[in-house]
Amino acid sequence: MTSCLFCDQAAEPVQVPGGAIYEDGLLVATHAFDGEGPVYLGNLRIVTKRHVPTLAELTDDEARSLGLFVARLGRALVACVGAERIYAHTFSEAIHHLHVYVTARYPGVPEQYWRWAVTDRPDAPRGGAAEVAALSERLRTYLMSQDSAGGASMSELISPHDLSEWRGSDLNPVVIDVRQPEEYAAGHVAGAVNVPLDLLSDQVGGLARDRLIVTYCNMYHRGTSRGERAAALLRENGLSARALDGGYPAWKAAGLPVVEAEPQP
C-alpha cells in the first residue's frame, strides 16, 4: 500500500501539535493541523487506526467507538471552549482513509457562518502550533477527568468475529489468556499467550505499547470477569486493551481456531 497521511498520523499522533487528545485501540483523535498558517481552534479530527476508506467498511466495534468519540469530544469542546453547537462530518475523498471532523461553533456566530462555513469566519479563534497544543492539552485533561470520575471507557469489549478479522489485518492484536495454566492447557484461542491475571501486573512493562491487546477468560461473570479486569488493568497502565466478549467459550462456539489438549486414552 502507498504511503497514507492518516495511517502515519494514527501510528504517530505526535506528528500533530498536542498529540493524541483521545485514543483507544481502534481510533485516535487529534486537533486538525496541516502545518499551513493559523488554523481554526476547536476543529478536531478522528482517524481510524486501520486503513478504512469509508464508514461502510467499519466493523461494528469501530462504529461503536466512533460514536463514543464524537459524543465525548463534543462534550469536551462544550466544556473547554464554550461551544454553542457541535458539528460532525466526513467526506474522505481527497485522502481515502476515513477521518471524521468534530467542530465547535462558538456562541454568537452569524448564521452565514453556520454549518460548512463555520471555519471560514474571519474573526474566528485561530492559532498556530503552540495554541493547538495548548487546547489539545485542555481537552485531554478534561476527558481524563471524566474517565476517572466514572465515565464509560472507550475500550471495553471486542466480539469474536471482529477479533478474528483484526488478527488478519494491520491491527494484529496481541491476545492474552488470563486464565490459570490448566485452563489454558485444556483449550485456548490459537496463537494466544497465557499470562494469568494474578501475574499480569508484573508483565505490563514487557507488553507492546503500539498494538491493541485483547484479554480473555471464560467470562462466566460478565462485568467482573478476569478478562475484563485484565483489560482494565492494562488500560490503567497506558495500554490499549479490550476484553473478548463471551471469552473462550464464545470464541470456540463461533467455530474459530482453537488449540485443545489431546484426549486421554
pLDDT of residue 50: 86
Mean pLDDT of 89-116: 90
| Of 22, 123, 156, nearest in space to 76 by CA | 22
- The SS3 of residue 69 is helix
pLDDT of residue 16: 78
Q: Taking 60 as the threshold, does the pLDDT of residue 83 lie above it?
A: yes
pLDDT in tens, 179-224: 999 999 999 999 999 999 999 999 998 998 878 899 999 988 777 8
Q: Which CATH architecture has domain 5-148?
A: 2-Layer Sandwich (3.30)
pLDDT of residue 147: 61
The winner for highest mean pLDDT among 32-46, 76-90, 221-235 is 76-90
The CATH superfamily holding the domain 157-260 is: Rhodanese-like domain (3.40.250.10)
Q: Which residues of 144-168 are buried (b: 16+ CB within 10 A; e: fewer)?
A: eeeeeeeeeebbbbbbbbbbbebbe
Rounded to two decimals, the pTM is 0.59
Beta-carbon count within 10 A of 110 CB: 8
Q: In one letter, which amino acid is 107?
A: P
**Angle between the 129-148 and 60-81 helix axes, to the nearest 10 degrees?**
110
Beta-carbon count within 10 A of 184 CB: 20
Q: Check residues 85 and 222 and name the one with the higher pLDDT.
A: 85
pLDDT of residue 153: 46
DSSP secondary structure, 181-208, as one string = HHHHHHEEETT-EE--HHHHHHHGGGS-
How many residues can be counted in the chain? Answer: 265
Please state the domain extents for the chain. 5-148, 157-260
